[in-house]
Structure 1
């Protein structure tokens, strides 16, 4: 069965980013895609120290095993599709998401590109500004990892928890992107 992992980089587990991600997941579920959500919020996801141990060990993991990153790397490696979601924090992704991207990206690269040819979708929620740089950070990770981005990135507008639900265009885009992701996963089928 086709599987998509959605990683929410928001410290608010039930905030606007989670709500917007779930609209994408709803469409994937409607198309028979198995989905799973992982929350980085409340879990430490320290940044990369450039220790190069992952390059020496070549075991598909970061040498630091005291946080959620290695579990995320495993789930991302097993999935056919990856959704990364982050609210805008000072015009970019959250520190948790950046820690995941840096460490998972390096581990993937030195272990024969673990995430290549996986279908990716970035999701962000902003209050006023910063969506472009936040999406770019996640899309750059996807591009450098050899992933295929499915359609338009998902952007929502909201501040108070739940207010993204009033962003009709953002919700519509999330559903359209979920349909596009399901279609692309189906079109690609089993690939190596």
Structure 2
């Protein structure tokens, strides 16, 4: 079996040195890499130029699986997303919602509808999960996690949770003013657990797909 590819996407507008979300994703990467045969890549949306979808439907008229109006950093990210067997999206909570950077990333998948039409099983053997960081203990983490899961549901990507206290995905707390570095050891350990499980599920789905 070919290597399982996991894509980790950091939706924080902060550079990695100041991003608690990036720290959580690094822990998930550590967990995923503990599984044999898994290749992990972490990409940041920080500093990338991604125009928002204007819902002109030109991609559909052009029969394209990607936007044909804007050519920016999404050109590269489409390929990474489509080729991944597992995807973990991390995002801080901004006013009980996702960041503007992640919202624009979301919006550009209007065109991927074509992939599901051409191949109904394109997304069904992929797995997705979320990691969310709030500025307070009850700061909207579940609302943002639901948004991440909604993206996966829209595409028919299987949602991975861990159970055992990590019900929907890994949720962390870190002061939102950036005054301290990440100090949530339980949350970070949950990220490792989530990364490990996503890798295991992605590996099982890929093996099952090859047997169909």
Both structures adopt the same fold (TM-score exceeding 0.5): yes
Contact residue 122 and residue 139 of structure 1 kept, 8 A:
yes
Cross-structure match for 1:131: 141
Match of 1:163 in 2: 181
The correspondence for 1:148, drawn from 158, 162, 179, is 158
Measured in 1, the distance between the counterparts of 2:170 and 2:51 equals 26
2:78 equivalent to 1:68? no
Question: Which residue of structure 2 aligns with residue 9 of structure 1?
Answer: 11
Once the two structures are TM-superposed, the CA of residue 161 in structure 1 deviates from its matched residue by 6.6
**2:189 & 2:53 partners in 1: Cα distance?**
36
TM, length-normalised to structure 2: 0.83
Residue 13 of structure 1: how far off its partner (Å): 2.6
Structure 1's 5 and 162: CA in aligned 2 closer, same or farther, altered over 3 A? farther
SS in 2 for 1:120: strand
Length-normalised TM-score, structure 1? 0.91
TM-superposition CA deviations, 1:137-178 (whole Å, max 9, x none): 1110011110111114111111227632x2122112111111
Give the RMSD, CA atoms, in angstroms.
1.7
8 Å Cα contact 1:58/1:111 also seen in 2: no
Q: Deviations over 1:81-112 (max 9, x none)?
A: 111111111111111101111112x1222332
C-alpha distance in structure 1 between counterparts of 2:67 and 2:180, whole Å: 35
Indicate the SS of the match to 2:33.
helix
Looking at structure 1, the residues matched to 85 and 179 of structure 2 have their Cα atoms a distance apart, in angstroms, of: 30
Report the counterpart of residue 55 of structure 2 in structure 1. 50
| Gap regions ≥5 residues in structure 1 | none
